[in-house]
Structure 1
Amino acid sequence: MAELVLSARGMSRRFGGLYANKDVSLDMHKGVLHAVLGPNGAGKSTLINLLSGDLPPSAGEILYRGEDISGWSPDKRSRAGIGRSYQRTNIFPGFTVFENCRLAAQSRAPRALRVFSKAVSFADLRDAADRAIAQAGLAERRDVVAATLSHGEQRQLEIAMVLATSPSVLLLDEPLAGMGPEESQSMVALLKKLTPDHAILLVEHDMDAVFAVADVITVMVAGQVLESGPPDQIRDSVAVQEAYLGEGEPDDE
């Protein structure tokens, strides 16, 4: 059985009297891409914010390798191996691809603002950055200024920056947003490449991409889990078809 890396148990997030997430439970395993679908307002981004530490849960617990991390800061979670990307591209546009990834790798050093330390050398940072760039398929763009990259390449760069922190968990919030067909195919190929070595949670609106790449799909409605299972189960579910996959397309979050 695949290694259980990150899980939520009865996790809720309340804003006043409104639940953005309510009693959500899910498991993330190494080598498994777990996609989350749902209409606008389903609580998908809140779910990622809770798992990454950007929001604290109002109830329930989050376990990382069996340890309760519900009270951990985003920085502590990142250092432990939980990496995330955002809906809006989050890069340094004036720096090169390599410089962006080196800065990300440097954030894992004991003293993040120092390039050299006893624990992490410049060579270590360079190697970590170059490995991440190669993993993300940007080796030929290593020395290009980020602002000049295409939209799809910038999304690849953001994932490369996450990879430079050596994560075991990837929380990806709509990495295909705004991409054309060719760029989407490249991102799907990248996600498939990364899955064997990571536990991946993918929030995405591109239905074709989700069903092409996901091993497990969880469907959320109004902050709660409607159904979770393999893609064929979700595709054939009457409840899911009525709530999300039926007539009409949901608005983007």
Structure 2
Amino acid sequence: MNDIVLNARGVSKRFGGLLANNNLNIQLQTGKLHALLGPNGAGKSTCINLLSGDLPVSGGRIELYGKDITQLSNTQRSKLGIGRSYQRTNIMMNFTVFENVRLAAQSRKPEAWKILSSVSNNTKIIDKVSACVARAGLESKIDRLASALSHGEQRQLEIAMVLATDAKVLLLDEPLAGMGAQESACMVELLIQLKQDHAILLVEHDMDAVFAVADEITVMVNGEVLESGCPNTIKQSEKVKVAYLGEEEDNA
């Protein structure tokens, strides 16, 4: 259950003279949520982009179930089971919830080129879409246009779409951004549920949410790991308090 699914070792990314990620080591396991924290510009989104294949690495190695995927594209990694969300919602606003998730589900089928064809007689696709929508908490909104959903519901829809691709690794980039208290609580409950059978990396600024769901936390500063450990270790770390939480060291 807790074997390593995604293993990033010594991963680095250089943009000209800027070292955005430097020698990062991240391990993701099914049944656990690993949170990635740090101030703006720390390199968190760059890390997700490297793991998803949206950016090529400058150094290091990334393995999925022990297989080297370092040179694979984002599309190839997605087909192997790596799904991700983005800081900006990536959905089709003029399509219904069902249609958005249906297109994601069909992208994994051999006949994906027929993506605009009718699925009225494809019970497997319909059942899969319904299950993903329900798991994301949108069952009552399945026929509603994405544009008519609240911000929080749109984020839930994006997760439903990722689930429809059969992803086993979820790379979630600030899924709670812009949410109110009630929407955040719903997303936290969804994350707790999803980590039971997924390996999750979560980038998030909502500290209360992170400490409510994370099993392990890595804190980044200036592209490097400052501290990594269980939530209690991070809470008690003087380095984290100074560099990220904004607290002064007690020199008394």
**What range describes the TM-score normalised by the shorter chain of this pair?**
over 0.9
- Report the secondary structure of 2:242's partner residue: helix
The whole-number CA distance in structure 2 between the counterparts of 1:239 and 1:116 is 53
Alpha-carbon RMSD across the aligned residues, in angstroms, is: 1.5
Alignment deviations for residues 114-170 of structure 1 (CA, whole Å, 9 cap, x no partner):
1599xxx83222122111101101111111111000010000000000001111100
Are the counterparts in 2 of residues 171 and 200 from structure 1 also a CA contact under 8 Å? yes
Matched, 1:86 2:120: no
Is the CA contact 2:173–2:204 (under 8 Å) kept in the aligned structure 1? yes
Contact 2:103-2:115 within 8 A present in 1 as well = no
Verify the 8 A CA contact 1:116 1:122 in the aligned structure 2. no
1:58 and 2:69 aligned: no
Matched ranges for 1:138-153 at <5 A: 138-153=138-153
SS at structure 2 position matched to 1:196? coil
Query: Would you say 1:246 and 2:246 are equivalent positions?
Result: yes
Structure-1 separation of matches of 2:93 and 2:39: 32
The whole-number CA distance in structure 1 between the counterparts of 2:122 and 2:79 is: 19
Asked if the contact 1:115/1:122 (under 8 Å) is kept, the reply is no
2:112 is aligned to 112
Equivalent pair of 1:37/1:219 in contact (CA under 8 Å): yes
- How far does the alpha carbon of each residue in 1:66-96 deviate from its partner, in whole angstroms, 9 at most, with x for none? 0110111111111110000000001011111
State the one-letter code of the partner of 2:147: A
Distance in 1, matches of 2:108 and 2:196, equals 23
- Shifted more, 43-52 versus 102-111: the winner is 102-111
Q: Secondary structure in 2 aligned to 1:89? A: coil
| Aligned counterparts, 1:94-243, within 5 A | 94-115=94-115, 122-243=122-243
1:166-193 per-residue CA deviation (whole Å, 9 max, x = no partner) reads 1110000000000000100000000001
Distance 2:122 2:13 in 1: 41
**Structure 2 unpaired stretches of 5+:** none
Separation (CA, whole Å) in 1 of partners of 2:122 and 2:75 = 22
TM-score if structure 2 supplies the norm length?
0.94
Distance 1:180 1:110, change over 3 A: same
Unaligned runs of 5+ in 1: 249-253
Shift of 1:113: 2.2
Amino acid at match of 2:141: R
Whether the aligned pair in 2 keeps the contact of 1:31 and 1:199 (CA below 8 Å) is yes
